Amino acid sequence: MKKFSNINNIKVGKEPKINDNINEDELFKSKVMDLLNKFLSIKTYGPIDRHFHMSSVKITGKEAFLEALNTLLKEDTLNNEKKILETLKYTIRDWETLDSKIYKIEEEISYNNDIKRLNTHINKLMNIYEKYGDDEELFLIKITESANKLDNDSKKLRAEASLLIVEKNELFKKVADIYNK
């Protein structure tokens, strides 16, 4: 760079710093996604009709699988941390700090469980949307049928899940209203 800056008489500052902060979750997700893309394929055995051959085939659910795998691994490591801290609690006299750490881990586990429950409801709502989303009336009819089948706790979770999806489509505000009834 100095050679070109001397020719053009332009002062060049220092080299730009490269951000070394790599998020482990994002790195894990990208590596697993690469593995899924590398090893997942579609094989057909037997004759293929012209309609199947002309249509597009897609593997869905890779992102949902990654989220589920990531939360499963986090939950497992948190449970292991909690067990280790509880065993240390009996051997070390400073048990108050360990209790606070155990309490934080338990809160994080419950938060992960809540997220897992919300993700299942989000997936169910998105499946209904993919099937009936083209026709708004039919979609809302299917949502009300679904709401009538659920108990109050599940309705609350579905309402929360639909409010999280509002970013993708404004129709989910109506869905949240249906589940909140």
Mean of pLDDT values over 67-72: 84
Mean of pLDDT values over 112-118: 81
Residue 143, classified by CB atoms within 10 Å of its CB into exposed (0-12), middle (13-18) or buried (19+), is buried
- pLDDT grade for 3, boundaries at 50, 70 and 90: low
* Segment 8-36, tens digit of pLDDT: 666 666 665 566 666 777 888 888 888 88
Q: What's the mean per-residue pLDDT of the chain?
A: 78
pTM: 0.49
Count of CB atoms situated within 10 Å of the CB of 49:
7
Q: Cα 111 to chain center, whole Å?
A: 14
Q: What is the DSSP string of 90-105?
A: HHSS-HHHHHHHHHHH
Which residues 6+ apart lie within 8 Å of 155 measured at CB? Answer: 147, 179, 180
Q: What is the DSSP letter of 14?
A: P
Q: What CA–CA distance (Å, rounded) separates 114 from 102?
A: 18
Which residues 6+ apart lie within 8 Å of 129 measured at CB? Answer: 139, 169, 171
Count of CB atoms situated within 10 Å of the CB of 6:
10
